[in-house]
Amino acid sequence: MVAQPSFRFSHLIAAFVALLAMTCLATAAIAQDAIHGAVSMDSSKVVGSEACMKCHGQEVAVWKQTPHHHTFKELHRRPEAKQIAERMGIRSIKRGDLCTKCHYTMQAVDGREKAVAGVSCESCHGAAQDWIAIHNDYGGPTVTKESESAEHAQQRVTKAIRNGMQNPANVYLIARSCYNCHTVPNEQLVNVGGHAAGSAGFELVAWSQGMIRHNFLSADYASNAHSPTGRLRLMYVTGLMTNLEYSLRATANATSAATYGFASAERAFEARKRLAELQAQLNHPILTEALDAAYGVKLKSNNKDALTLAADQVGSAAFSFAQSADCATLGAVDAYLPAASQYKN
């Protein structure tokens, strides 16, 4: 008699934990207007990765093994980089914003901008000055993660995002920074400089679950385990949508029928097709919105306004999807998920 209720209770807990792992309904009600327009970094609000060290030493250690970190010391030494810079007519790749926007973290000290790192924590999570003290404050020195109220946790995440944090609570917030760099939306840089027109085959799950991965925080994940399947489903679909958004943005910048224009239109064409194929399985209303916007526009040069509008619509759909999709209902995505052997290491 005594054993029975506790037996049932532990079952209930197990079921609840399983539910948590499978579903990924967003815990914080993040409003669409919390995302302020395009991805940008205010160098006067950059604090640098040393400021994260104290509490996120393991994440920093992982980052230090990646090309994002190495590019700081290596890029300017590469002959290809010197050639691109020469063709673009710039003397220093660590000054100005032509190369620094994507290869470095710029910090303004006393009004002077300086490259302080390669692609770092804040490149993906947002310049931290205005959110660093908020994102880990459970509600005063006596409150712990366990005793924090659900309401306070919601407010904390929402407030951090309003203050510029790209919080994985809505994975679109991070996905868009990946694509903002990895689609290389700069026509001159490609056509004149000879820079690659984006990273071939960039896909959010494969590119985030390999060498980049730093899952140390959540007790649901073993120390730096891959993100759970439900989360990967959500990331995969959000990634395809964000890929489409940023491919449309890149195409919007095309003014001539040359390498850049062809490459970005081709990528948008493929992105649209891949999302449509997935939608044939998923039949999700938010994907319908994104696809209607993307198929309603011509993938051609000098079509900036229409392409930008479509990109905005796809982006806002991607945000809503990341916010509201229930991973448990996305089982059809499993057939498309890259295998662990395809993760970028």
Could you tell me which residues come within 8 angstroms of residue 267 by beta carbon, excluding any fewer than 6 positions away?
183, 197, 198, 243, 247, 250, 251
Contact 310, 250 (CB under 8 A): no
Given the complex with ligand HEC, which of 127 and 294 has the nearer CB atom? Answer: 127
Pick from 176, 231, 249, 272 the residue near ligand HEC by CB under 6 A: 231
The stretch near ligand HEC (CB under 6 A) out of 17-25, 119-127, 252-260, 276-284 is 119-127
Residues in the chain: 345
Given the complex with ligand HEC, which of 89 and 111 has the nearer CB atom? Answer: 89
132 binds ligand HEC (CB under 6 A): yes
Burial classification of residue 153, based on how many CB atoms lie within 10 Å of its CB (0-12 exposed, 13-18 middle, 19 or more buried): middle
Task: Please choose, from the candidates 212, 211, 188, 185, the residue with its C-alpha nearest in 3D space to the C-alpha of residue 199.
Answer: 185
∠ CA 69-74-76 to the nearest 5 degrees? 120
Structure tokens at 238: 């959000």
The stretch near ligand HEC (CB under 6 A) out of 10-18, 22-30, 52-60, 108-116 is 52-60
Contact 170, 319 (CB under 8 A): yes
CB neighbours of residue 50 within 10 Å: 10
The stretch near ligand HEC (CB under 6 A) out of 7-15, 20-28, 204-212, 280-288 is 204-212
Q: How far is the CB of 230 from ligand HEC (least distance, A)?
A: 11
Q: Within its chain, how far is the Cα of 203 from the centroid?
A: 11
Pick from 94, 152, 162, 214 the residue near ligand HEC by CB under 6 A: 214
Pick from 24, 30, 35, 99 the residue near ligand HEC by CB under 6 A: 99
176 binds ligand HEC (CB under 6 A): no
Contact 81, 68 (CB under 8 A): no
Task: Please choose, from the candidates 243, 99, 229, the residue with its C-alpha nearest in 3D space to the C-alpha of residue 175.
Answer: 243
Given the complex with ligand HEC, which of 224 and 256 has the nearer CB atom? Answer: 224
81 binds ligand HEC (CB under 6 A): yes
The stretch near ligand HEC (CB under 6 A) out of 210-218, 270-278, 308-316, 333-341 is 210-218
Pick from 199, 229, 259, 308 the residue near ligand HEC by CB under 6 A: 199
Pick from 34, 106, 157, 318 the residue near ligand HEC by CB under 6 A: 157
The stretch near ligand HEC (CB under 6 A) out of 10-18, 125-133, 240-248, 329-337 is 125-133
What's the CA gap between 179 and 2, in Å, rounded?
Answer: 56
Could you tell me which residues come within 8 angstroms of residue 318 by beta carbon, excluding any fewer than 6 positions away?
172, 175, 176, 238, 241, 242, 245, 290
68 binds ligand HEC (CB under 6 A): yes
343 binds ligand HEC (CB under 6 A): no
Q: How far is the CB of 6 from ligand HEC (least distance, A)?
A: 29
Contact 210, 276 (CB under 8 A): no
Q: Per-residue x/- mask for ligand HEC, residues 270 to 309, rule CB under 6 A?
A: ----------------------------------------
Q: How far is the CB of 170 from ligand HEC (least distance, A)?
A: 10
